[in-house]
Amino acid sequence: MSELGPTLETERLILRPPGPQDLEPWAAFSADEAVQRHLGGVQSRAVAWRGLCAFAGAWTVAGFSMFSVVEKATGRWVGRLGPWKPEGWPGTEVGWGLIREAWGKGYATEGASAAIDWAFDSLGWDEVIHCIAPENLASQGVARRLGSVVLRRDVLPAPIDIEVDCWGQSRAHWRARPR
């Protein structure tokens, strides 16, 4: 466990609270148009720094936040995923965002599974959602592989203000799923 929160490990990934060592890859992730298409749009380095600080600071303020995702085999930062519920959010989310080079490897499903287990077991959540833009077919596929279904449509709070489908499931559904 770091000062901020736990470190989770999966077969191929290390999930840990974000830190200052993540700024360079986080800024590159935030500047990639394809990656940011469904994550609020491209951000300057200064805005990316603020985002990194918001995710890191949420560990102190809320007791949870998204994890930095590190590839075990290489030690490379490949994204961020995990629990997220800023003020005004439509529910208790486990979300994901990965660099392009990590797409298609099953990392989002693998990491989100560990994060969902942790959210239900350690945070006591009763439901987990995934806020997904209706045109984001790749994330819909991850949600389906996790056993989630569309629960409702909602709008993310300002300044995001976009309509999303809230995919998700209850703790009971998650625990009863075939493994």
Single out the residue of 108, 167, 163, 158 nearest to residue 133, CA to CA. 163
Q: In this predicted structure, what is the pLDDT of residue 2?
A: 61
Q: In this predicted structure, what is the pLDDT of residue 167?
A: 98
Mean pLDDT by 10 residues, the chain (179 residues): 85 97 95 84 91 95 97 98 96 97 97 98 98 96 98 93 96 92
Single out the residue of 126, 132, 175, 178 nearest to residue 153, CA to CA. 132
Single out the residue of 155, 56, 168, 70 nearest to residue 119, CA to CA. 168
Burial of 25 (0-12, 13-18, 19+ CB in 10 A): middle
Give me the architecture of the 8-126 domain, per CATH: 3-Layer(aba) Sandwich (3.40)
Prediction pTM value: 0.95
Whether 84 contacts 57, CB under 8 Å: no
